[in-house]
Chains A and B, each alone.
Chain A
Amino acid sequence: MIDVAITRRRKKFSVEINFSAQDDGITTLFGPSGSGKSTLIDMIAGLLRADSGRIALGDRVLFDSEKGINLPPEQRHLGYVFQDARLFPHMSVRSNLRYGMRRRAASQRRLAEADVVDLLGLEHLLARRPAQLSGGERHRVAIGRALLTSPELLLMDEPLASLDQPRKNEILPFIRRLPGELGMPVIYVSHALEEVIRLSDRVVVLTDGGVRAIGPVEEILSRPDLAPLTGRFWAGALIEARVTAHDETYALTSLTFSGGAFLVPRLEHPVGASVRIRVRSRDVSLALEPPKGSSVLNVIPATVREIVSDDQAQADIVLDAGGSRLLARITRKSVATLDLKEGSSVFAMIKAVSVERPSVERTDTAAQEEPQTHG
């Protein structure tokens, strides 16, 4: 459990942040630039000092202004992966990796050098100097260097912001594997929605130096009131599903989730794999009865939970499909025509082709046995 309750006031920018979060899996701090994400993570790491408050990791107090506790960064035992990698240019990759490891008592080292090198695919880079690495390689080394200090928590401050999309795709799976495979909890700072969707277990939404919302990623992304932050165009729901079969004739894959069956274009993942799929609200339409003679393959019974609208044309409908949240964006006119209210029973219609492959992320730990495909 990580508990944060801090304030820091400066002329230009003040933060007042309170939250508690489970310290397993990946917690993302999400928000626009200037929302206080980096300030917060630097205060957790001990690089910035809060004016008042308390930061604790389990029962280990890192900062407590009342008791006068402020551990220096080197005693907090947190890993920090910076946006700009920050490898030491005068050392080989191997020496970089060992820098933090050597400074950790042998009895405290939980991760073996060989395992981390293996996981991050660094074997062939060990003898090189940072100047001879590509951007993606540099970031992998930086992650390995932080991991080898056997931190109790890994902090990552937009580690992919400076990379292009292929490099991001190269590194994201490694990060996703950290909690499951190494038991390493991660706090991940990002303003990129895609990274949040692909990585997070839970999200802390920050705006203007305060916590706006906190919760599981599925919930946060399907909350209409956060849509201005999560992006109107991309607003939608995340669904946890399982691969049940592949249809080679029509190149389709069938999934099941708590709301029923779901067809999507053929996925590479094997039968039995867990996946997270993103369904944009603008791809979901509603009907009162199951349609006949329709091209839409996915028709899912659901109940209306909430209707959010203003004086604009569209309305966001929060649906419950067997415990999974779905989000539909339809016109206010349709809401009136169908006479939708909280509790109405509807059928959510989702075109199979609207689920694109990049919006599907494998989430179970068996993922690493698959060959990596890039780009």
Chain B
Amino acid sequence: MFSLTPLESEALMLSLRVGFWAVLGSLPFGLLIAWLLARVNFPGRAIVNGIVHLPLVLPPVVVGYLLLVTLGRNGPVGSLFHDWFGWTFAFTWQGAAIASAVVAFPLMVRSIRLGLDLVDRKLETAARTLGANRFDVFWSVTVPLVLPGILTGSVLAFARSIGEFGATITFVSNIPGQTQTLPLALYSATQAPGGDEAALRIVLVSCILAFAALATSELLARHVQRRLTGGTP
């Protein structure tokens, strides 16, 4: 009754891959930026904060276009990557992952930063008096305690990546099997005559995916919370 066409399942796998790498790739940066914003009072903090949040308020098409201009084959950054490593981002799934990562980045940073604000800084001070340097304290105390925020941020970023449309289509276009993620496949289906059935299937898959992501995050968050509060019997 319900089976995806090869092209649709390819779109599903591509979406998952793009989402996975977008989250994994942006996580270290997200953690670093969130920590800087929450803990260090450096000059230009407001500017960094603004830039990080820009993708949240800019139209995704603008983000996609800016990526195309900078990271495209002839862009200032893209040409360097091409000349040095032979990497091309425009019109590849890697490019789609970058577009998703950029658009989802503010969500990830916000979650981690909220988590950091909840971490009792006195615990970090205590760790210093126990012989841990700043770096050590970060990994042994701060990160474990901010894990719920990291998880929430990752799931939000993943969900946002799966749903990314505007930046993706502008930066890497809509190439079936290459850059056609679920939303792009849905768009194509709605444009094709008699594509209603295909569109319905894609909508269903998208809903299941979103729900699964939410459920996973809820379960993980509960598990982590139990570990922190010591499993009240």
Contacts and interface: CB of A to CB of B under 8 A. Distances in A.
Interface stretch (A85-93, A191-199, A284-292, A355-363): A85-93
Contacts of B232: 131
B229 A129 contact: yes
Interface in B21-48: none
Given A129-B231, A131-B232, A82 B126 contact: yes
A74 B133 contact: yes
B227 A79 contact: no
Contacts, number: 69
B62 to A, nearest CB: 41
A80 interface: yes
B131 A104 contact: yes
B229 A89 contact: yes
B230 A132 contact: yes
A73 B131 CA distance: 7
A45 interface: yes
A143 interface: no
Contact of B227 (A84, A90, A99, A146): A90
Given A74-B131, A99-B130, A103-B130, A47 B228 contact: no
Contact of B230 (A46, A84, A130, A145): A130
- Which residue, of B120, B125, B130, B144, has the highest number of chain A Cβ atoms within 10 A? B130
A333 interface: no
Contacts of A89: 123, 145, 228-230
Interface in A130-146: 130-132, 145-146
Contact of A74 (B129, B227, B229): B129
A100 B127 CA distance: 8
A99 B140 contact: yes
A9 interface: no
B121 to A, nearest CB: 10
A128 interface: yes
Interface in A70-115: 72-74, 77-80, 82, 84, 86, 88-90, 99-100, 103-104
A78 B136 contact: no
A128 B140 CA distance: 19
A39 interface: no
A284 B229 CA distance: 54
12 contacts: A74-B129, A74-B130, A78-B129, A80-B129, A86-B122, A88-B141, A99-B130, A99-B132, A103-B131, A128-B230, A131-B230, A132-B230
Interface of A: 45-47, 72-74, 77-80, 82, 84, 86, 88-90, 99-100, 103-104, 128-132, 145-146, 149
